[in-house]
Amino acid sequence: MNRLACIALSLCAATAVHATPSDSNARQDLRAEARAHEYALKEHSGGKRALSVAKATVNYPGDLTGAPEYTRPFADCTGATGLGPMGYSLQPFSVDTDGAYTITSEQTGFDGFIFLYEDAFDPLAPLTNCIIGNDDSSGIGFSEIAGAALTAGTTYIVVTTAFENGEAGPFSNTIDGPGAITLEGLVAADLSIVKTAPGGVNANSPFTYVLSAANAGPEPATEVIVTDVLPAEVTFVDSSCPTTLVGNTVTWSIGDMALGDVAECTITVDPVAESCVGITNTATIDGAESDFTTSNNSSTVSNGGGNVVGDPSFETSLVDNTWTQTSATFGTPICDVANCGVGGGTGPRTGDFWTWFGGFADGAETASMEQSVTIQSGVTEMAFWFESANCDAGNGAADFVRLTIDGDEVWRADALGAACGTVGYSEVVVDISAYADDAAHTVRFESETLGNVDGATVSNFFIEDVEILSAPVCNVAATDVSVTLDATPEPALAGGPLTYSSTVANAGPLDALDVEYSLSLSTGVTFTSIDADPAFTCTTPAVGETGTIECSVALLGAAESLAIEVVTGIDSTVVDDFSAIATVVTSSSDSNPTNDEAVAETTLLDAADLAVSIDDGVSGVLDGDTVVYQLIATNNGPNTATDAGLSTTLSDNLVDVEWTCTGVGAVCPAASGSGDILALVTLDPGASLEYEITATVDLSVVQDPTTASAEITSPAGLPDPDTGNNTDTDTDILLTIGIFSDGFED
């Protein structure tokens, strides 16, 4: 008995008893949960690989022990079984004459199954290219596909597998027919292509796709071609590999690829729209050799903007398990018309499959469908289509279906709902904004029904076309203006100069418009001069004034930079460290505002601007004159000078020197004294010492002009920002009376 018959008669072990076909509201057949497994293709014949041979009848052996596994189809290739996974073995072949051919398989110790495929076989898509299958035509251990109409020159693949999971063993297969049959070597090139957009999709500037082609072998590939049909949303710019462009189709001819070879190509495209739109792009790879793993022969990259729910209409989940399925009675809630009927309703809304909750008359049924979905920020709604043409009102709210997200119920319908009794789907829209956080969430439909209580109706809840739409994600290309600021010297002296150097740059990729630079000076720092790039138009404070320096340029090109140098002076009264701030702004979009401001910190050294002056108020003297000098020693700040050196040097023709000291905000080292002054003085900022020095001119000592010099020196470790005022000298010329020494005028 084959499995289809077993299912139809409800004789399979560990299955539930279904409502009879006369109950039009119940599901007609069992569909068990299917699980697909991806394995590398390799031969498991248990012996030598079959050589290419041509004859009217061919035979080849094999063994499923340790073979790779997949989930096989039903015999008519309309759906996937729930009894897998099971091992499989492949044998490609071709014929040289059109006609009817017979394929038989004798299995030893297990219940086998054979399938015929055309062109290619992919264990991850077992329904694709499937022509027909057979299980136990003459009893367990023998399978036959009789009278298969084959076309000369076409590649066919015999897949030998098992009836259910756990069955394996040796087998012997025979192919015969009217023409020569050529068994092809199974091993071929496994070409793959991976397409990525490593930098993301830009909304208003070019971006790149990277194509990575590989050959996993085990044999070399020839005539390898990668084809990339660019979507209408982009145009081709260039590529890093030799390509041809016809219309919007980019062709990359790789040629030969040895086992393990990898080739990479970068394609640059330019988006047509200036705004962010969804862009989906698919690349494919092909070669001259057979490739039995076709699932990796194409690769798609998208920036979103579509439905983020996988398999929204349940067309592939029986094979790829996109939706995790449970059903206490049927193994899975997924149905198609051939195996389930329509339960008095519509059946599938789109495609061939839909989710049917309930539909079991003879008792309780619980079922669920769930998957993990990343819900993007900004998403507000989830939509799906719902039908409940039949409801068991006797069960009331106990028969229900509900939608949960992370276990939280967000929607529910039951056997008393308004939709009950209506044939046809209606759209349900649910607010899911509370879960829109760019994180993964578990979306789950689940149902409980009690069975046929009122004797007439079974509750049927249909779900179709689940949708959570996301917005496309784009990089919005912009400018990246930046500014730097350096201050020299560092540390600096109060009363000294300070130079600010800035660079205003634009890293692009777009030009920056209306770029404005500003430099804000600290209190006590005054403007002296500016040297800016001629492209700038600048305004400054007056020389000697503080304020803000501003410069602007109408356009700063991508990858362009401009320099500015501002010379300032630090007031001698400044005592604290300070900083200056430079900023740059643009009217263009700036992708990185974090580099639009720069700060330069200036550390002030402790310093004292010491000054001294000496003057007698006359420019000439006579022998015997008494001269009076005023010496003033001052600290202009900003710090106290402790034990500064103060000294005088008077010429030798100044005799009988006497002096007195008066402190102005300071204490004199001595109130009076004679001869030259040599003292250590302490002066706070703004304080001074005033000395009055009296001397007599004695030309008998020397006939030179009289001189009086004064000097003040900073104590060790205390810089003086202006040493030009640390010394002073008063010089008086010698005068004559204008009368001869004998008393008579000339």
Q: How do residues 712-745 score in pLDDT, each as one tens digit?
A: 999 998 999 889 999 999 999 999 876 444 444 4
Beta bridge partners of 538: 551
Percent of the chain with pLDDT over 70: 90
Domain 481-605: which CATH number of 1.10.3720.10, 2.60.40.1530, 3.40.50.920, 3.30.930.10: 2.60.40.1530
Query: Among 3.40.50.620, 1.10.3720.10, 2.60.120.260, 3.40.50.2300, what is the CATH number of 317-467?
Result: 2.60.120.260
Q: What is the mean pLDDT of residues 556-565?
A: 96
Distance CA(418)–CA(388), nearest Å, equals 9
Q: What is the pLDDT of residue 401?
A: 98
Placement of tokens 């993964």 in the chain: 440
Q: What is the Cα–Cα distance from 526 to 569, expressed in whole angstroms?
A: 5
The reply to whether 191-289 and 481-605 are identical in fold is yes
Residue-level pLDDT at 68:
87
Given a contact cutoff of 8 angstroms between Cβ atoms, the answer to whether 64 and 91 are in contact is: no
Question: 176 has which bridge partners?
Answer: 57, 102
Nearest in space to 469 (alpha carbons), one of 535, 373, 584, 352: 373
Residue 318, classed as helix, strand or coil, is: helix
pLDDT score of 87: 92
Segment 376-398 shows an average pLDDT of: 93
Mean predicted confidence (pLDDT) in 532-561 = 97
On the question of pLDDT at 94 being above 80, the answer is yes
Written as six digits, the tokens of 685 are 């900022």
Predicted pLDDT of residue 541: 97
CATH architecture under which domain 191-289 falls: Sandwich (2.60)
Q: How many residues does the chain have?
A: 746
- Dump pLDDT digits (tens) for 638-683: 889 999 999 999 999 999 999 999 999 999 999 999 999 999 999 9
Q: If you average pLDDT over residues 429-435, what whole number do you get?
A: 96
Sheet with 439-449, side-by-side order of all strands = 324-327, 365-375, 439-449, 400-405, 408-414
The DSSP line for 548-616 is: EEEEEEEEE-TTEEEEEEEEEEE-TT--S-EEEEEEEE-SS-BS-GGGSEEEEEEPEEP-EEEEEEEE-
Looking at residue 283, its pLDDT comes to: 97
pLDDT of residue 24: 53
Closest residue by Cα to residue 702 from 662, 654, 664: 654
The CB-side HSE value for 675 (13 A sphere, CA atoms) comes to 2
d(CA 370, CA 357): 13
**For strand 597-602 and strand 678-683, is the pairing parallel, antiparallel, or unpaired?**
unpaired
E strand residue ranges, 419-524: 422-431, 439-449, 460-467, 481-488, 492-493, 497-506, 512-520
Question: Distance between CA atoms of 391 and 414, rounded to whole angstroms?
Answer: 8
Q: Which residue in 219, 181, 177, 287 sits closest to 43, CA to CA?
A: 219
pLDDT at site 35: 31
State the Rg of the chain over Cα: 48
Residue 734: both structure tokens together? 């010698």
On whether the CB atoms of residues 621 and 687 are closer than 8 A, the answer is: no
In degrees to the nearest 10, what's the CA dihedral of 710, 715, 719, 722?
-10
Strands 620-621, 727-734: pairing kind:
parallel
CA distance 662 to 299: 94
Query: Contact, 687 vs 635, CB < 8 A?
Result: yes
Pick the CATH number of 41-183 from 1.10.8.60, 2.60.40.1260, 3.40.47.10, 2.60.120.380: 2.60.120.380
pLDDT at 596 over 60: yes
- How confident is the model over 226-257, as pLDDT tens digits? 999 999 999 999 999 999 999 999 999 999 99
Token digits for 100?
């009817």
Q: Picking from 38-52, 186-200, 332-346, 475-489, which range would have the lowest pLDDT averaged per residue?
A: 38-52
Per-domain residue ranges for the chain? 41-183, 191-289, 317-467, 481-605, 608-734
Q: What is the Cα–Cα distance from 591 to 575, expressed in whole angstroms?
A: 40
Q: Determine the residue type at 279.
A: I
What span, in angstroms and rounded, lies between the C-alpha atoms of 332 and 320? 13
Give the pLDDT of residue 56.
Answer: 73
What kind of architecture, by CATH, is found in domain 608-734? Sandwich (2.60)
Q: Is 129 helix (H, G, I), strand (E, B) or coil?
A: coil
Count of CB atoms within 10 A of residue 113's CB? 27
Q: How far apart are CA 592 and CA 586, in angstroms?
A: 12
pTM: 0.44
Q: For residue 37, count CB atoms less than 10 angstroms from its CB and return exposed for 0-12, middle for 13-18, buried for 19 or more.
A: middle
Amino acid (1-letter code) at residue 561: S
**Element (DSSP H or E) covering residue 207:** strand 207-215
CB contact set of 319 (below 8 Å; sequence gap of 6+): 34, 36, 71, 80, 124, 125, 126, 127
Ranges assigned E (strand) in 243-307 = 243-246, 249-257, 262-271, 280-286, 298-302
- Are 159 and 89 spatial neighbours (Cβ–Cβ below 8 Å)? yes
Chain center to CA of 622: 92
Indicate the SS3 state at residue 707: strand
- 38, pLDDT greater than 60: no
Helix (H, G, I), strand (E, B) or coil at 19: coil
